[in-house]
Amino acid sequence: MASSVESAALALSCLLVAAMVRSAAGAGRELDPVQGEGQGLDIGTKVPVASFVSPEDLEKIFAKDAQTEVIEKDFSFTEGPVWVPELRDGRGALLHTDLDLNNVYEWCPDTQRGRVFFTNSGGFVEWSVGQRNSDFIFISGNGQAIDPTERNFLTIAQHGSFRVSKIDLGPLIKNGGALARIDEFQTIVDNFQGVRFNSPNDVVYACNGGLYFGDPPFGRQAVFGEARTEGDARSEINDAFGFVSGVYYVPPDSHDAELILRNVYRPNGIGISPDDSLIIGQESDTSEGNLGLTFPSGRWYVAKVDPHDPKETHEILLVSEEEFAAKVDFSKAGFIDGLDISAPNEHFPNGVLFASGPGGLYVIKVPETKDVDLSQDDAGAPILAFIDTSTFAVNAHVAPDGFLYITGGANLFRIKLADSIKPAISRCH
C-alpha cells in the first residue's frame, strides 16, 4: 500500500498535469478534460457481476462482492486502455484513447480524475485541436500497448495514418496536454508488401518485443466518411493474397509485417496467451466473410503460433457455438470488440480472457496451448462470468493496481480483481 507521502506526490503530479493542460489551453489549445457528446453513466454507478460458476470460483477472478464502478464520464468513444507502470516518478497511471476526440487521456488513481495526456493520437497531418473525428473520416489512435523491451515508448494503432507507430513518453509527460507533433511519432510499420494498411486497430506484444496487430477495413469504407483506395496496387494484392484485411506480425527490431491470419474479415481486439503461443482475437462482424458461421455478429477466435518464429496459420472458434448462443445475449447494447488476458496463476495456467461483447465484458478461461487442436471447430473455452456495464463496453485492461479497467462509450469503468489476477506484462522480465 502506498504511503501518505507517495499518495500525495502522485496526487500532486496529476494536479500539475491539469495545470499544464489549462496553460496549454491559454496558449491557444482548448483542451478540456472531456468533450464528448453525451454524459454517460454517473460516476459512482455500480453494477454486480453475473456469474456462470460458483461464488467460490468467482472469487478466483474478482474480489469478494466486487462490482463494476463508473469512474469517469463525458467522453465520446473511449478505447485503448493501457497501464504505464512508471509514468510519473515510478508511479503508474492508466492511459486510454477516445476515437472521436483524437486524444489520449491519463487517469490518475489517487485523484480519480482524467485529463488530456496528449492530443492528435492518430498522428493525422491535417488535424488540429478542436476538430472532431467526424470532420474527417476515422483518424484517431485506437489500441495501445507498451513494448516490454522498450517501456518508455507508447505504441499506438493509428487509423488516420494507416500505420502502427510509437511515441516517447518522456516529452509527453513534460508537456502534458500538448498537441503531439507528427515528427514525434516513429513508424513501426505502415504497409504490407508496399501497400498501405487499411486502419490498424489493436496491438499486443510478445515478451521478446514481437508485435501482433489487426488491420480491419474500417478506415477505407465509405460508411466512415469517404472510401479511401490505392487503385490497382491494392486490388492486385487483394487478388494475390485473397484478403482485404488480416492479422499481422512484426518481428523485434523490424519494420516488415508478416501475414499471420488472412481469414479474419474484421479483426478487432487482439491478445496473446502468457506462453506467447496462442493468439486470441475478436472479429466484430463475420457476416461478409467466408466462414459459414451461424452467428453473424462477431466471434472470438484462437490460433496457435510459434513464439520463436511465427508463420501464417489459421484460426478456430475459441468458444463453441453452443456456449456462445447460451451465454451471449445480442439483444443487449454493444458488440464484440476489445480484450485483455491476465498472467497465469494456479487456477488459470494460461490466464483469463476479459472480452467485450453485448452489454459488457465476458470472462473466459484461456485454454492451455496443448489442448488447442486447430483441426477441431472450436477450442471449447468456457465463459465463466459476465461483467455488466449497463451500456456497451469496448475494451479492457488488467492493471497492476489490482483493477480491471474497462472503456466504453462516454465512460471509463473499473472492477476490483482477485489478488491472484495479475497483468500479462508481469510475465515478461
Asked if 144 and 95 touch (Cβ cutoff 8 Å), the reply is yes
pLDDT at 323 exceeding the cut of 90: yes
The model's confidence at residue 343, banded by pLDDT at 50, 70 and 90, is very high
Q: Kindly state the DSSP code that residue 233 receives in the 8-state scheme.
A: H
Residues ≥6 apart with Cβ < 8 Å to 228: 137, 219, 220
The model's confidence at residue 182, banded by pLDDT at 50, 70 and 90, is confident
pLDDT at 137: 55
CA-closest candidate to residue 407, choices 420, 421, 423, 391? 391
Q: Go through the domains of the chain in sequence order and give each one's CATH number.
A: 4-427 (2.120.10.30)
Asked if 170 and 88 touch (Cβ cutoff 8 Å), the reply is no
Across the range 3-23, mean pLDDT stands at 34
- How high is the mean pLDDT of the chain? 80
Least confident of 254-268, 286-300, 353-367, 400-414: 286-300
The H-or-E segment that residue 50 falls in is strand 46-51
Measured CA to CA, the distance from residue 370 to residue 103 in angstroms comes to 41
pLDDT at 72 exceeding the cut of 70: yes
The model's confidence at residue 21, banded by pLDDT at 50, 70 and 90, is very low
pLDDT at 176: 64
pLDDT at 292 exceeding the cut of 70: no
Across the range 336-357, mean pLDDT stands at 95
How many CB atoms within 10 Å of residue 196? 18
Asked if 407 and 383 touch (Cβ cutoff 8 Å), the reply is no
Least confident of 129-133, 152-156, 252-256: 129-133
pLDDT at 263: 85
Higher pLDDT, 90 or 207: 207
pLDDT at 367 exceeding the cut of 50: yes
pLDDT at 306 exceeding the cut of 80: yes
pLDDT at 42: 76
Q: What is the pLDDT of residues 132-169, one digit of tens each?
A: 544 445 678 999 999 998 888 999 999 878 899 999 98
Least confident of 123-137, 244-258, 385-399: 123-137
Across the range 36-48, mean pLDDT stands at 67
pLDDT at 120 exceeding the cut of 70: yes
Across the range 275-284, mean pLDDT stands at 94
The model's confidence at residue 247, banded by pLDDT at 50, 70 and 90, is very high
- C-alpha cell recorded at residue 199: 486502419
pLDDT at 27 exceeding the cut of 60: no
Measured CA to CA, the distance from residue 140 to residue 156 in angstroms comes to 10
Across the range 214-229, mean pLDDT stands at 63
Measured CA to CA, the distance from residue 188 to residue 211 in angstroms comes to 10
pLDDT at 226 exceeding the cut of 80: no
- C-alpha cell recorded at residue 164: 502502427
How many CB atoms within 10 Å of residue 202? 29
Least confident of 189-203, 218-232, 278-292: 218-232
Across the range 168-189, mean pLDDT stands at 82
Residue showing cell 489493436: 202
What's this model's pTM, rounded to 2 decimal places? 0.85
The model's confidence at residue 9, banded by pLDDT at 50, 70 and 90, is very low
pLDDT at 11 exceeding the cut of 50: no
Across the range 166-174, mean pLDDT stands at 86
